[in-house]
Amino acid sequence: MKLVALASALLCGTILLFGTAEFPDFGDPDSPAASHVSPRYIEEAMAETSAPNIVTAVLADYRGFDTLFETAVVFSAAMACFFLLRIFGEDERRPSEKLYRHLPTGITLRIDPGGKVPDSPEFERIDGIWIPHDVIVKTTTRLIIPFIQLFGLYVIAHGHHSPGGGFQGGVILGASVILYAISQNLRQALGRMGEAVSAVFCAAGVFIYAGAGALCLLMGANFLDYSGLAPLFGVDAIQARSLGILVVEIGVGLAVMSAMVWIYYNLASMGRHQEGL
Amino acid sequence: MSPHLPALPVVVPLLSALLITILGWSNRRLPFPIALVALTAGLLSALGLMKDVLARGVIGYNMGGWDPPWGIAYRVDHLNALVLVVVMAAALIGLIATRDRVKAEFEDRIVPFYTLFVLFVTGLSGILLTGDAFNLYVLLEIASLTGYALIGLGEGRAPLAGLNYILMGTIGASFYLLGVGYLYLMTGTLNMVDLAARLPGLYDSHVVALAFFICLTGLFVKMAFFPVHVWLPNAYSNASSAAGILIAPLTTKVMIYVMIRITLTVFTPDYAFDVLDIGDAVVWLSVIAIVMGSVFALAQNRLKRILSYIVVAEVGYMVGGFWLGNRAGITGSILHIVNDAAMTLCVFLAAGALLTRVPGDRLIHLQGLFRKMPVSMAALVVGGLSIIGAPPTCGFFSKWYLISGGIDAGHYGFVAALLFSSLVNVALFFRVFEIAYYEPFGADHGHDPRAHGASGREDAPAAMLAPLVVVAVLLVALGLYSGDLVSAIIQHAIPARII
Amino acid sequence: MSEFIDFFVGKYNYWAFILLMMIGLYAMIAKKNLAKKIIGMNIFQTAIILFYISTAAKGGGASIPIIAHGHGHGLSEHGARAADYINPLPHVLMLTAIVVSVATLGVALTLAVKVYHQYGTLEEDEIADRIRAQTGGEP
Amino acid sequence: MINLIAAMFILLGLVFFTGGAVGIIRMPDFYSRLHPAGKLDTMGLLMSMIGIALYSVQGFSLGEVLTGLKIILIVVFVFITSPTATHAIVDAGVRAGLEPWTQQRRGEES
């Protein structure tokens, strides 16, 4: 098997290497790729979409249809994860036993089904006996999560002018929630951003994108032609394109954030949503 | 008709899939109606597109209002309008027929099931309509990802089969992406029409040939062409019966469409058939695919595995017929896309119907089923006859075109392989029918006391039987009207240069 | 010899991507562990991303595709010159491809978790043993 | 001149990074490997970020100084997060039951 693999990989590589002889050199400014379609983007994107970041302009406007489905891919991956892994109902191995920690002493209590749940701020519900009471990690994450989220929002909103956009910002926002889930525990993260919320937000994010496109259809322009939204925004066609890009970036950010969180919930707890990392 | 019609078969299902999640999360009864409305709208717009194309010829649609090659353009001609109607119709019929199965098999995950399925159809219809090589890749991944998920949640080995499907499918899609990258590097464009315009100057370039081979290899993996078919039988036979019914008729056919589209539109027939001159080699490969698919099918003892290997053989029919490179062969290949979608739907649906009443799909489980489930078995007979290629079912006519194409091209190996495969199919299906007709109903699984008596008739639920009967009738109708289909639509789908 | 060096120096980006791709392909075929296969799949996809991105490069001092001084004063009268900025299109395409590969990775890991749940291992031959033990050798 | 100082800082940072990388490979067990990984990376980052900040402050205009400050902000964040991450990893190792390396245990193994 190893030999077969090696042979096929080498064969594939040799064939591909053979083909590189006719390729344009690395960094050749006159290669067909650099001279046929792309100059128009570089020269006109600013005038046509009012977005100085050409990548954002091409991503969300010229080739916005690709990006719509890119977002839909993220959504379907999250949905697939949920569909395949989620196990509803109680874990039959440990039916609804609950663990509490008495904070001043660090003693862990196990409450069997039917037992009385302690009602005092001194008790904290935990996932497993081995979960330590870790002040350092909890405090640090509490300190930096707001900054992470602020940065995520900045990356989404500033995508017109600097590297960034919905995908990057969405991943940063999602990472902040995942960090919260890691540093506290899964149950608490689910309390902050539940499963239904992440699912519906994920769909809603894609829906904002596709809905913006469909709104253009209703306004009589082509699908995703944001200039058709100009009357709604009350600006001229080019500014409308710029605003349209912002709207879809927000949709993308929402969808990507919830998708990341949702995938994490399902993968980390193997679909049980009881205890994760 | 509305100028925005080309966007609708993609936009409506996409929005509906999202609505299924948003609304269905609170009300579990909503997903099915929304999916039904979405696919009906999709089918209607596909039919509208077909009518427009027949009246006006090729229709273009610029997404975002940007002219190609800068923006993404949709391009609808006879070929993809036809396949789109087929895909939408098969998806709609499958959706209606599997309603009860989905309820039974996925009772707590109806929302994700329908979301994924409608997204799957969205991806397929996007693949069919798009005129942009990279956009095709993105849509391909949507259709594949949702397909992996739907297949991965089944009985027994389904997750393993799904994982293998992911690994192979990703290789296939990545090869396609690499091929598109090579083309982009040489031409600087991604639009199919623009590519076709810029490629003739590069016909003697090795890179373009390499790009063509890489794309073709990727698509072969995706369509389960013989040496790289290994993912398909496991994936389709282990999938839950609802997922099998919904996915089996569609994926491979759409991939064959993509092959035809890339070869005819992007690279043009001149390049594929004359400059490269690989037609003969691919036809021989497909001969091997047909023979091996049939032989493997003979060796199986489970109905769904038999059907899966028949799908592998049928892929060989279509690929071989197309690469014969003459008008009859390509006509047969395109006609067979239509017919094979209907046939596969029919037999998988019949197998699904049988599975509602028998515990498994091993051949011994089928004993005496003609008495117990006459309608389902009758539909299976029609589907089987069509796969065998008996007139007046539609399978006969596409096979006729394929064989006459083979004779025109002087490729008797292909003709022989087709006849061999028909013989094998006769043997296969008549073995199934014999077991189901003559052998008494097995005692080992007669838990239901009624099954033994004279009133042992207990056919599948009517909600499943009605679509099954519709498909079986459709098989015959497609056969009777295949002449019209060819002269009205398929003739226009083939470039005039090919004789 | 010097021709060969010119050839290599001019096109080393393609060599790098082919090497990565071969590593990925080898891992996908040769490794028995499903997790390693998934890693191989990811390397394979990354190789293609590298290929696309390297085609975007432009020599001669081209900058990242964000128009300088586009801040604030609306439309710039002095239009941007194509030679000053690298090609944005491959970057856009690869943003899409990266997202697709992450999504594929997510679904693949999900299925791997399910397989692990079912058989208790991710080694292919051990899984095959378990399947044989369960079904008595039938497919 | 300022470029030279910046280059010196960056070089110094790279030396720390190299030391950290060597340490990760050379140290005998999990806990002692985390030591160079945590400490030297933080130090290396500090040095190279100061270098880059100095490099970006060429003309002492407001925008450049702001850019430099933003770069220093990265260091602040890493100073907060990197020890926490190392701590969390060590903690996980203890909980997973990983025994620290000692001279004696090494003797038993060989």
DSSP class per residue in chain A: -HHHHHHHHHHHHHHHHHHGGGSPPTT-TTSHHHHTTHHHHHHHHHHHH--SBHHHHIIIIITHHHHHHHHHHHHHHHHHHHHHH---S--SSS-S-EEEEETTTTEEEEE-TTPPPP-STTEEEES-TT----HHHHHHHHHHHHHHHHHHHHHHHGGGTSS--HHHHHHHHHHHHHHHHHHS-HHHHHHHS-HHHHHHHHHHHHHHHHHHHHHHHHTTS-TT-GGGGHHHHTS-HHHHHHHHHHHHHHHHHHHHHHHHHHHHHHHHTTT--S---
In percent, the amount of chain A with pLDDT more than 70 equals 93
| pLDDT at residue B362 in the model | 83
Lowest mean pLDDT among A235-239, A262-266, B439-443, C13-17: B439-443
Distances (CA, A) of A58 to A39, A62, B411, C76: 12, 5, 48, 18
| pLDDT at residue B459 in the model | 78
CA dihedral B120→B124→B129→B135, nearest 10 degrees, is 80
- Terminal CA-CA length for chain A: 37
CB atoms within 10 A of CB C96: 23
Decide which of A104 and B203 is more confident. Answer: B203
Q: Do A32 and B186 touch (CB under 8 A)?
A: yes
Taking phi over 0 as left and psi of -120 to 50 as alpha, with beta for the rest, A95 belongs to beta
| pLDDT at residue B93 in the model | 93
| pLDDT at residue D107 in the model | 55
Q: Which residues of D39-75 are buried (b: 16+ CB within 10 A; e: fewer)?
A: bbbbbbbbbbbbbbbbbbbeeeeeeeeeebeebeeeb
CB contact set of B484 (below 8 Å; sequence gap of 6+): none
Q: Residue C120 has what DSSP assignment?
A: S
Alpha helices for B110-205 (secondary structure H): 110-129, 133-152, 158-187, 192-198
Q: Give the chain C residue whose CA is nearest to the CA of A64.
A: C92
Q: Do D88 and A143 touch (CB under 8 A)?
A: no
Chains C and D touch each other (3 or more Cβ pairs < 8 A): no
Q: For residues C53 and C50, give the distance between their C-alpha atoms in angstroms, rounded to a whole number.
A: 5
Which of A133, B104, B160 is closest to C128 using CA atoms? Answer: B160
Q: For residues D32 and D101, give the distance between their C-alpha atoms in angstroms, rounded to a whole number.
A: 8
Picking from D80, D82, D89, D98 by the largest number of A CB atoms within 10 A of its own CB, the best residue to mutate is: D80
Q: For residues A76 and A47, give the distance between their C-alpha atoms in angstroms, rounded to a whole number.
A: 35
pLDDT per residue, tens digit, chain C (139 aa), is 677 777 677 788 888 889 999 999 999 989 899 999 999 999 999 999 999 998 888 887 788 888 876 554 444 455 677 788 888 999 999 999 999 999 999 999 999 999 998 888 888 888 888 888 877 655 5
Maximum CA pair distance of chain D? Answer: 64
CB atoms within 10 A of CB B184: 24
Q: Give the chain C residue whose CA is nearest to the CA of B179.
A: C48
Report yes or no: A268 and A186 within 8 Å, Cβ to Cβ.
Answer: yes
Residue A11 contacts B where some CB pair is shorter than 8 Å = no
Which of B415, B402, B414 is closest to B280 using CA atoms? Answer: B414
Q: What residues of A are in contact with residue C21 (Cβ under 8 Å)?
A: 12-13, 16
Q: Do B122 and A21 touch (CB under 8 A)?
A: no
Report yes or no: A17 and C15 within 8 Å, Cβ to Cβ.
Answer: yes
Would you say residue B377 lies in a domain?
yes
Confidence of residue B399 (pLDDT cuts 50, 70, 90): very high
pLDDT (tens digit per residue) in B145-184: 999 999 988 777 889 999 999 999 999 999 999 999 999 9
Mean pLDDT for all residues in chain B:
88
Which of B127, B137, A4, B195 is closest to C48 using CA atoms? Answer: B137
pLDDT (tens digit per residue) in A191-228: 888 888 999 999 999 999 999 999 998 888 889 888 88
pLDDT (tens digit per residue) in B183-219: 999 898 999 999 999 888 888 888 899 999 999 999 9
Which of C70, C114, C111, C62 is closest to C88 using CA atoms? Answer: C62
Mean pLDDT for all residues in chain A:
85
Chains B and C touch each other (3 or more Cβ pairs < 8 A): yes
pLDDT (tens digit per residue) in D13-71: 999 999 999 998 888 888 888 888 888 888 899 999 999 998 888 877 888 888 888 88
How many residue pairs bridge chain A and chain C with CB atoms within 8 Å of each other?
A: 179
Residue B1, pLDDT > 60, answer no
| pLDDT at residue D3 in the model | 87
Q: Residue C123 has what DSSP assignment?
A: B
Q: Which domain holds residue B426?
A: 293-499
Q: For residues C13 and A20, give the distance between their C-alpha atoms in angstroms, rounded to a whole number.
A: 10
Q: For residues A73 and A79, give the distance between their C-alpha atoms in angstroms, rounded to a whole number.
A: 10
Residue A251 contacts B where some CB pair is shorter than 8 Å = no
| pLDDT at residue B135 in the model | 94
- Terminal CA-CA length for chain B: 34
CB contact set of A29 (below 8 Å; sequence gap of 6+): C58, C59, C60, C62, C83
Would you say residue B40 lies in a domain?
no
Lowest mean pLDDT among A174-178, A197-201, B12-16, C81-85: C81-85
Q: What residues of D are in contact with residue A143 (Cβ under 8 Å)?
A: 80
| pLDDT at residue C97 in the model | 93
Q: Do D81 and A140 touch (CB under 8 A)?
A: yes
Residue ranges of chain C whose CB lies within 8 Å of a chain B CB = 25, 28, 34, 37-38, 41, 44-45, 48, 51-52, 55, 89-90, 93, 96-97, 100, 103-104, 107-108, 110-112, 114-115, 118-119, 127, 131, 138-139
| pLDDT at residue B453 in the model | 43
Among C75, C102, C109, beta carbon nearest to A46: C75
Q: Strand pairing partners for A111?
A: A98
Residue A238, pLDDT > 80, answer yes
CB contact set of B467 (below 8 Å; sequence gap of 6+): B93, B94, B96, B97, B349
In percent, the amount of chain A with pLDDT more than 90 equals 32
Among C23, C56, C107, beta carbon nearest to A77: C107
CB atoms within 10 A of CB B106: 19
Confidence of residue B27 (pLDDT cuts 50, 70, 90): confident
Picking from A38, A73, A260, A264 by the largest number of C CB atoms within 10 A of its own CB, the best residue to mutate is: A38
CB atoms within 10 A of CB A2: 11
Domains and CATH numbers, chain C: 2-60+84-135 (1.10.287.3510)
| pLDDT at residue B275 in the model | 84
| pLDDT at residue C73 in the model | 47
Confidence of residue A276 (pLDDT cuts 50, 70, 90): low
Confidence of residue A268 (pLDDT cuts 50, 70, 90): confident
Report yes or no: A205 and A254 within 8 Å, Cβ to Cβ.
Answer: yes
Report yes or no: B495 and B264 within 8 Å, Cβ to Cβ.
Answer: yes
B73-76 and B59-62 as β-strands: parallel, antiparallel, unpaired? antiparallel
Residue A93, pLDDT > 80, answer no
Q: Count CA within 13 A, CB hemisphere, residue B196.
A: 17
| pLDDT at residue A138 in the model | 86
Confidence of residue B434 (pLDDT cuts 50, 70, 90): confident
| pLDDT at residue B451 in the model | 44
Q: How many domains, chain B? A: 1
Residue B68, pLDDT > 90, answer no
Q: Which residues of A250-271 are buried (b: 16+ CB within 10 A; e: fewer)?
A: bbbbbbbbbbbbbbbbbbbbbb
Residue A6, pLDDT > 70, answer yes
Task: Please give the average per-residue pLDDT across A80-88, as a whole number.
Answer: 89
Give the closest-approach CA distance of A267 to chain D in angstroms: 19
CA dihedral A113→A115→A117→A118, nearest 10 degrees, is -140
Confidence of residue B270 (pLDDT cuts 50, 70, 90): confident
Task: Please give the average per-residue pLDDT across B377-390, as a whole number.
Answer: 90
| pLDDT at residue C69 in the model | 65
Q: Give the chain C residue whose CA is nearest to the CA of B135.
A: C93
Q: For residues A133 and B12, give the distance between their C-alpha atoms in angstroms, rounded to a whole number.
A: 51
